[in-house]
Amino acid sequence: MHPIRRRRLIKAQAPANPHYGKPPGERTIPELIQQGVVIVDKPAGPTSHQVAAWVRDIFDLNKTGHGGTLDPDVTGVLPVALAGATKAIGILHTAGKEYVAVMRLHGEMAEERIRQVCQQFVGTVTQMPPEQAAVKREERERTIYSLEVLEIRDRDVLFTVSCEGGTYIRVLCHDIGEALGCGAHMHQLRRTRSGIFGEEDAHTLHDILDAYIFWRQDGDEDIKNIIRPVEDVLAHLPAVVIRDSAVDAICHGAYLTIPGVLQADTGIEPGSEAAIKTLKGEGVAIGTAALSTRDIMEKDQGIAVETNRVLMHKGTYPPLWKKH
């Protein structure tokens, strides 16, 4: 997957009030449990929903949510949001993904031909979601960033693929088989990356349970290495950093206007998703950009981001906006 490199541009200077909020890395374990994400190494067998339910039970929470369904027989990286972080987890559905897969051909095919056809699928592809998918069945375009054939043994093709979120590898294997003229199906699949989260970040359900028990019984803080702050889910989005005085208004659902902006990442375009953050790096909300980075930096008035989902609790920062 090719990460987007962005620069943070400074529009105005303002101090951060040390008496309100805190950097995500300084949150306590109870705070992380209420606003964090665990990256599960999903085993084969259970559904993604079942895995999220087990995580909910481990932490004794009312709700959890997973970031991108994996079929029961598929293993690998499954981000699971805890409690309040479930408001943000949906944006991972559009984040880039990486997989390692085994495609089984239905007939004999020359290795050179297999590699040649696989490369034809790098770029924009058109897919029809499978019948069992929980989305409307209509053709849609997805981007394959890279597809590398690692090994071919008899009719089995081992390959890695980096792709746009929402790409169906099962459909990709079928379509490659059609292009080859022999037919093919997905035999095995493992997700190795979702957004910024890779296999190196993933933990088994057993390890997560052990870490939680050790913390509750002995005060062992190793669980801090397992629970990630919700802001990590926002890492693939461009960010707009706002004044402390604007935070509570956003928490009440107000749109972000340009006077509240201090910094903005490059790459923001009208209609694209953007994260609204504090000077301490806290996620305030997710919204739809109304202006480009350039316009946000150059204009003095107008709406910069339309707030869609508020992540921060009201009252975390003082309601200074009400005084005006």
pLDDT digits (tens, 9 = 90+) for 77-89: 999 999 999 999 9
Distance CA 241, CA 10 (A): 9
Catalytic residue among 41, 57, 60, 71: 71
| Residue 14 within a domain | no
Same domain, 101 and 190: yes
User: Above 80 in pLDDT, residue 133?
Assistant: no
User: Above 80 in pLDDT, residue 134?
Assistant: no
Q: Which helix (H) or strand (E) holds 111?
A: helix 111-119
| pTM for this predicted structure | 0.90
| Residue 215 within a domain | yes
| Residue 158 within a domain | yes
Same domain, 247 and 291: yes
Q: How far is Cα of residue 96 from the mean position of the Cα atoms in its chain?
A: 8
Q: Specify whether 73 is catalytic.
A: no
| Residue 6 within a domain | no
Same domain, 185 and 209: no
Provide the domain limits for residue 262: 237-323
Distance CA 268, CA 7 (A): 11
Q: Which residues contact 15 (CB under 8 A, 6 or more apart)?
A: none
Same domain, 213 and 286: no
In 3-state terms, what secondary structure has residue 133? coil
Lowest mean pLDDT segment, chosen from 41-55, 119-133, 176-190, 209-223: 119-133
CATH value at residue 189 = 3.30.70.3190
Same domain, 265 and 318: yes
CATH value at residue 272 = 2.30.130.10
Distance CA 301, CA 98 (A): 41
For the stretch 148-203, pLDDT in tens is: 999 999 999 999 999 998 899 999 999 999 999 999 999 999 999 999 999 999 99
User: Above 60 in pLDDT, residue 93?
Assistant: yes
Same domain, 117 and 177: yes
Same domain, 89 and 207: yes
Q: How far is Cα of residue 50 from the mean position of the Cα atoms in its chain?
A: 19
- Residue 130 banded pLDDT, cuts 50, 70, 90: confident
**Angle 179-184-189 from CA coordinates, rounded to 5°:** 120
8 A C-beta contact, residue 157 and residue 103: yes
- Residue 324 banded pLDDT, cuts 50, 70, 90: very low
pLDDT confidence of residue 132: 66
User: Above 70 in pLDDT, residue 18?
Assistant: yes
Same domain, 138 and 269: no
| Residue 277 within a domain | yes
Of 194, 218, 247, which one is at a domain's C-terminal end? 194
Same domain, 89 and 211: yes
Same domain, 178 and 207: no
pLDDT confidence of residue 321: 52
Q: Which helix (H) or strand (E) holds 274?
A: strand 273-277
Of 140, 173, 194, which one is at a domain's C-terminal end? 194
CATH value at residue 209 = 3.30.2350.10
**Angle 95-208-225 from CA coordinates, rounded to 5°:** 70
Of 167, 194, 221, which one is at a domain's C-terminal end? 194
For the stretch 99-129, pLDDT in tens is: 999 999 999 999 999 999 999 999 999 998 7
User: Above 50 in pLDDT, residue 1?
Assistant: no
pLDDT confidence of residue 29: 97
pLDDT confidence of residue 323: 47
User: How much is the average pLDDT of 211-238?
Assistant: 94
Same domain, 81 and 55: yes
For the stretch 276-297, pLDDT in tens is: 999 999 999 999 999 999 999 9
| Residue 1 within a domain | no
Same domain, 206 and 89: yes
Query: How many structural domains is the chain composed of?
Result: 3
Q: What is the mean pLDDT of the chain?
A: 93
